[in-house]
Structure 1
Amino acid sequence: MSSPPTSAPTTGRTSLRGSARVVLRLHRKALWAAGGLLVLGIGIVVALRVWMASAKELCADGDITPCGGPAHQPSYARTSTETLLADGGTVLLLLAALVGVFVAGPLIARELESGTFRLAWAQSVSPARWLAARLAVPAALGVSGLAVLVVVYRWGLWALRGYPYSHRITWYGSGVFPGTGPALLGYVLLAVAVGALCAVLVRRTLLSMSLTALVLWTVAFGLEKRRYELWPTVFRTDQDALQSFSAGDWSIDAGMVTASGRRLYWQDCYDADLAQGYDGDLAQHIEACLRDRGAVSDFIEYHPASHYWPLQLVETGILLALAALAVFLAFRALRRLHG
């Protein structure tokens, strides 16, 4: 009798899972530290919400004085919460960068520098699968952990919604925007990819970590400065242009336009007046200066609050494209250097 057919062994999948388990075992202390940071972040936001809820606010706008009175005084808990959460997105961005620095240094470059990678490659683990495991583990854990922190951070900001005297918490703020949507997950995936690429190319722990931090800072800084260009702005030139702008909108620029449609900016006259030390009514003088140059009506260029998600998704797409490119180059460099 013929023996029953046996299924083909799934050595590729098994080796990848085995490599992932090795990564988790070798770096369990770092995982515990990451878990501690996750709990700490959640605890801070929860503590701020509880503190603000316990404040003796007499009005819905956070006033601790009688409603409708001549003075408005917010509670110390509310102003402190606003101050701390105003830079929460920056903190989450730094955590994403920290994942990339860890990938570049202890996870990959240190093994390449010390030569311990040869032990794994001698045990039926190809260089490509070895690198894939060191990309998959931090990517999965980083995305999962930071996704939780994004939800918690948004929940913390939700307590400040509708607060009319808030000037630090804006959806487009450089300290808020990166930590409130999917762009942060794009940043952590880019951090992992850039860390792997730098480690494979440099193969020196400290140098790889430094180069990764520099590349991530450059990308984050560039996107912050050019974020307003990722989606078309709203341009209004009618008589009620300035009145159409609401407190929740992101003002990009303002000024006046000529009959031919040429834009004249307030800075064109403001800088000259400032240099001359003008002491009169500066706003009226600037308007008169612009009209002397042919201006006929006001204009304002801005992003309304509805542009939040388009800006988030476009930025996320850019980050994912850069991450995919970095991963491709990392595997290509590994193949060229080690076969």
Structure 2
Amino acid sequence: MTTTLTTVPSETATGPAHAPRQLRWLIRLHRPALLVGAALVLLTGAALLWLGGPFTDASATAWKQYNACSFDENCSYDQDAILRYKGVYNYTTYAVLAVPFLVAAWAGGSLTGRETESGTTRLAWTQGVSPARWLASRLAFPAVLTLAATGLLALLHRLAWTAAEGRVDTALSWDHTPTFYANGTVLVALALAGLAAGVLAGLLLRRAMAALAAAAVALGALWAAVHAALPRLWPAITEVSSLRDGPRGDGILVGQGVVTADGDRLAAPCYTSTLPGCEASLSDVHAVSFYRDIHPAAHYWPLQLVASGIVLAVAALATLAAFRLLRRRTGKAAG
């Protein structure tokens, strides 16, 4: 009787076994950073819950007291509650906005930069883990964590901001720049782009500190470019008003000026016809009305989603560039 032994190809045999091993190694290697990150997310999330609950309620009550005073000098209201809400809102908003930069710095300085600088990557590749699989493990699991953390913080921030609408007189509007980004999907997309930029910088520079700085700067440049292009990512609406009323319309400003009798749009020499000399200046350019191109509140989600799509496309390109760079450096082993 002849026994036939079937040999399993090494890639198939080692593939499934190496995935969990790589994940365990990744968690063990970056456990301090993961614990610190989890603590920061929990603390910021708790602060946002507190902001949207007791702080908002106390501030709303204080504003009711203040508005009922009717300029009575002896009237009392809880000014500390108003100031406390404003301070906590600002601190938590900027803490949420810092998350993409923290992800980029960690991805560049520790996730890939430190490993390529120390040479531990080549040690891993000699133990049956292909470079492509090593890189995939540095992207997949951190991307899931990044998506979950930033998505949760953006949701909690939006809930806290919504809780103050119509109740707190000093609550910031939707188009306030930090509030706009902290409330939506662009924040999540930027965090994922920061992860991809950090991984690419670590592979490219192979120095932890240099990669950390490069990833943070690259993310800042991307954010600035998206912010500059934001008003033109979706068609604006035009509000036309009389010269006596002045420009009208609230939201993200795209452009404004005057409309002439011929229907041409010109830059306005002034915007308040009641000021001395303004009426004559408007007459000189034959202005008949003011116009203002704006994005109203209804454009919030279209702007968020289009901007998020652009940022995610950049993140995908950075990820592709990282795999191509690794393949070029390692040859067939990266395949």
Distance, in Å, in 2 between the alignment partners of 1:55 and 1:93 is: 24
Q: Does 1:123 align with 2:115?
A: no
Distance, in Å, in 2 between the alignment partners of 1:216 and 1:110 is: 19
Distance, in Å, in 1 between the alignment partners of 2:41 and 2:244 is: 45
Aligned-pair distance for 1:337? 1.1
Aligned-pair distance for 1:193? 0.6
Greater mean alpha carbon deviation, residues 281-290 or residues 301-310: 281-290
Amino acid at match of 1:125: V
Residue from 312, 319, 326 that aligns with 1:320: 312
Change (3 A) 1:5 1:334: closer
Aligned-pair distance for 1:332? 0.3
Could you give the per-residue CA deviations for residues 276-329 of structure 1, whole angstroms, max 9, x where no partner exists?
Answer: xxxx98745334312211111121211110000000000100001000000000
Amino acid at match of 1:259: A
Distance, in Å, in 2 between the alignment partners of 1:98 and 1:4 is: 52
Structure 2 partner of 1:207: 210
Greater mean alpha carbon deviation, residues 214-223 or residues 79-88: 79-88
Q: What TM-score results when the alignment is normalised by the length of structure 2?
A: 0.86
SS for the counterpart of 1:165 is coil
Q: Does 1:113 align with 2:114?
A: no
Structure 2 partner of 1:91: 95
Distance, in Å, in 2 between the alignment partners of 1:261 and 1:163 is: 42
SS for the counterpart of 2:164 is coil
Distance, in Å, in 2 between the alignment partners of 1:252 and 1:84 is: 31
Structure 2 partner of 1:223: 226
Q: Does 1:190 align with 2:193?
A: yes
Structure 1 partner of 2:177: 174
Distance, in Å, in 2 between the alignment partners of 1:309 and 1:336 is: 40
Change (3 A) 1:282 1:7: farther
% identity of equivalent residues: 33
Q: Which has the higher helix share?
A: 2
Amino acid at match of 2:112: I
Could you give the per-residue CA deviations for residues 48-95 of structure 1, whole angstroms, max 9, x where no partner exists?
Answer: 33134245827xxx2223637347977432343234424644432321
Amino acid at match of 1:185: V
- Confirm or deny: 8 A CA contact 1:86 1:169 kept in the other structure: no
* Aligned CA-pair RMSD: 3.1
Amino acid at match of 2:97: L
Aligned-pair distance for 1:236? 2.6
Structure 1 partner of 2:301: 309
Residue from 325, 331, 334 that aligns with 1:333: 325
Amino acid at match of 1:47: W
Amino acid at match of 2:165: R
5 Å-filtered alignment, 1:259-278, equals 259-266=261-268, 268-269=269-270
Change (3 A) 1:88 1:172: farther
Structure 2 partner of 1:136: 140
Unmatched runs of 5 consecutive residues or more in structure 1: 271-279
Structure 2 partner of 1:295: 287
Aligned-pair distance for 1:198? 0.8
Distance, in Å, in 2 between the alignment partners of 1:284 and 1:87 is: 43
Distance, in Å, in 2 between the alignment partners of 1:285 and 1:76 is: 45
Change (3 A) 1:21 1:287: farther
Could you give the per-residue CA deviations for residues 236-257 of structure 1, whole angstroms, max 9, x where no partner exists?
Answer: 335499699555x333333311
Change (3 A) 1:241 1:213: farther
Change (3 A) 1:56 1:210: closer
Residue from 244, 248, 252 that aligns with 2:254: 252
Could you give the per-residue CA deviations for residues 126-154 of structure 1, whole angstroms, max 9, x where no partner exists?
Answer: 00010110111221111101111111111
Structure 2 partner of 1:273: none
Structure 1 partner of 2:153: 149
Distance, in Å, in 1 between the alignment partners of 2:85 and 2:249 is: 24
Amino acid at match of 2:317: L
Distance, in Å, in 2 between the alignment partners of 1:228 and 1:254 is: 13
Distance, in Å, in 2 between the alignment partners of 1:205 and 1:45 is: 33
Aligned-pair distance for 1:7? 9.4
Aligned residues: 324
Unmatched runs of 5 consecutive residues or more in structure 2: none
Structure 1 partner of 2:40: 37
- Confirm or deny: 8 A CA contact 2:234 2:303 kept in the other structure: yes
Aligned-pair distance for 1:185? 1.1
Amino acid at match of 1:320: L
Structure 2 partner of 1:46: 49
Amino acid at match of 1:138: P
Amino acid at match of 2:263: G
- Confirm or deny: 8 A CA contact 2:247 2:290 kept in the other structure: no
